Amino acid sequence: MPKRATESHAVPPTLFDKIWDFHVVGRRADGRELIYIDRHVLHELHAHHGFTHLEKQRRAVRRPDLTFAVQDHTVATKPGRNDDTNPSGAAFLKATRECTRRNGIRLFDLGDPEQGISHVVAPELGIVLPGATHAVPDSHASTVGGLGALAFGCGTTEMTHILATQVMALKRPKRLRARLDGRLGAHVSAKDVALRLIAELGVAGARGYAVEYAGSAIAAMPIEQRMTLCNLNIEMGGRSGFVAPDDTTFAWLAGRPYAPKGAMWDQALASWRTLVSDDDAKFDREVTLDCSALEPQITWGTDPSQVVGISGRVPDPAVIDSSRRAAAESAYAYMGLTPGTPLAGLPIDRVFIGSCTNSRLPDLEVAAAVVRGRRAAPNVIAMVVPGSSTVKREAEAAGLDRVFRDAGFFWGESGCSMCAGGNGDRGAPGERCVSTTNRNFENRQGPKVRTHLASPATAAACAIAGRIADVRQVLAAAS
Amino acid sequence: MMQPFTRHTAIAAPLVQDDVNTDQIAPILHSRGLKEDYRAMLFYRARRRDDGSDNPDFVLNKPQFRNAGILVTGQNFGAGSSRESAVWCMLANDIRVIVARSFADIFRENCLQNGLLPIVLAPADADAFTARVIAADGAAPFTADLVSQRISGPGGGDVAFDIAAADRMRLLEGLDDIGLTLKHIDEIVTWERRAAAVQPWLQTARDGR
Ligand code: SF4
Summarised one tens digit per residue, pLDDT across range A80-116 is 999 999 998 999 999 999 999 999 999 999 999 999 9
How far are the Cα atoms of A57, A123, A216 from residue A253, in angstroms, in the given order? 39, 8, 21
Instruction: Kindly list the structural domains of chain B, giving each domain's residue range(s) and its CATH number in brackets, ordered by start.
Output: 7-175 (3.20.19.10), 176-209 (no CATH)
Dmax (CA) of chain B: 69
How far are the Cα atoms of A273, A285, B90 from residue A278, in angstroms, in the given order? 12, 16, 44
Burial B161-184 (b: 16+ CB within 10 A, else e): bebeebbbebbeeebebbebbbeb
Question: Which string of DSSP letters, residue by residue, matches A235-247?
Answer: GGTBSEEEE---H
Question: Which string of DSSP letters, residue by residue, matches A11-60?
Answer: SPPPHHHHHHHHTEEEE-TTSPEEEE-SEEEEETTTHHHHHHHHHHTT--
Task: Tell me how far apart the alpha carbons of residues B146 and A193 are, in angstroms, rounded to a whole number.
Answer: 43
From the list B31, B105, B199, the residue facing A271 with the nearest CB is B199
Sorting pLDDT into bands at 50, 70 and 90, what band is A4?
Answer: very low
- CB distance A355 to ligand 1 below 6 Å: yes
- CB distance A401 to ligand 1 below 6 Å: no
Q: Closest Cα to atom 6, ligand 1: which residue?
A: A416
Strands B159-160 and B150-152: what pairing? antiparallel
Sorting pLDDT into bands at 50, 70 and 90, what band is A382?
Answer: very high
Cβ contact, residue pair A66, B203, below 8 Å: yes
- pTM (2 decimals)? 0.92
Give me the phi and psi of A313, to 5 degrees please: -120, 160
3-state secondary structure of B172: helix
Identity of the amino acid at A421: G
Q: Which residue has the higher pLDDT, A437 or A29?
A: A437
* Neighbour count for residue B44 (Cβ, 10 Å): 17
Cβ contact, residue pair B33, A91, below 8 Å: yes
Task: Tell me how far apart the alpha carbons of residues A224 and A144 are, in angstroms, rounded to a whole number.
Answer: 10
Quote the DSSP letter at residue A320. Answer: S
Task: Tell me how far apart the alpha carbons of residues A371 and A353 are, in angstroms, rounded to a whole number.
Answer: 12
- CB distance A438 to ligand 1 below 6 Å: yes
Neighbouring-strand partners of residue A33: A27, A170
In angstroms, how far is the first alpha carbon of chain B from the final one?
Answer: 42
- Residue A439 CA neighbour count, 13 Å, CB half: 24
Task: Tell me how far apart the alpha carbons of residues A277 and A393 are, in angstroms, rounded to a whole number.
Answer: 37
Distance from CA of A29 to the nearest CA of B (A): 8
Cβ contact, residue pair B202, A239, below 8 Å: no
Summarised one tens digit per residue, pLDDT across range B9-37 is 999 999 999 999 998 999 876 545 677 88
Residue spans of chain B under pLDDT 50:
31
ipTM of model: 0.93
Chain B 8-37, residues with CB within 8 Å of chain A CB atoms = 17-19, 21, 23-24, 27-28, 30-34
Span of A183-192, A308-317, A370-379, B27-36 with lowest mean pLDDT: B27-36
Burial A331-365 (b: 16+ CB within 10 A, else e): bbebbebebeeebbebebbbbbbbbbbbbbbbbbb
Does position A338 have pLDDT exceeding 80, yes or no? yes
How many A from CA of B54 to the centre of ligand 1? 30
How far are the Cα atoms of A6, A32, B83, B106 from residue A171, in angstroms, in the given order? 16, 5, 20, 12
* Neighbour count for residue A274 (Cβ, 10 Å): 11
Summarised one tens digit per residue, pLDDT across range B53-79 is 999 999 999 999 999 999 999 999 999
Distance from CA of A306 to the nearest CA of B (A): 13
Chain B 149-208, residues with CB within 8 Å of chain A CB atoms = 164-167, 169-170, 177-178, 180-185, 187-188, 191-192, 194-195, 198-208
Question: Which string of DSSP letters, residue by residue, matches B42-78?
Answer: TTTTTTB-TTSSB-TTSGGGSGGGTT--EEEE-SSBT
Chain A 418-477, residues with CB within 8 Å of chain B CB atoms = 420-422, 424, 439, 441-444, 447-448
Strands A209-214 and A240-243: what pairing? parallel
Dihedral angle of Cα B194, B197, B199, B205, to the nearest 10 degrees: 100
Residues A22-26: contacts with CB under 8 Å, at least 24 apart: A22/A131, A22/B199, A23/A133, A23/A150, A25/A167, A25/B184, A25/B187, A25/B188, A25/B191, A26/B184, A26/B187, A26/B188
Task: Tell me how far apart the alpha carbons of residues A389 and B44 are, in angstroms, rounded to a whole number.
Answer: 34
Cβ contact, residue pair A157, B114, below 8 Å: yes
Number of H helices, E strands in chain B: 9, 8
Distance from CA of B202 to the nearest CA of A (A): 6
Quote the DSSP letter at residue B162. Answer: B
Task: Tell me how far apart the alpha carbons of residues A6 and A172 are, in angstroms, rounded to a whole number.
Answer: 15
Determine the pLDDT at residue A9: 54
Task: Tell me how far apart the alpha carbons of residues A341 and A364 are, in angstroms, rounded to a whole number.
Answer: 30
Closest CA to A128 of A226, A213, A195: A226
Neighbouring-strand partners of residue A308: A298
Does position A3 have pLDDT exceeding 50, yes or no? no
Most ligand 1 atoms within 8 A of CB, residue of A416, A438, A451 to mutate: A416
- CB distance A117 to ligand 1 below 6 Å: yes
- CB distance A358 to ligand 1 below 6 Å: no
- Residue B118 CA neighbour count, 13 Å, CB half: 24
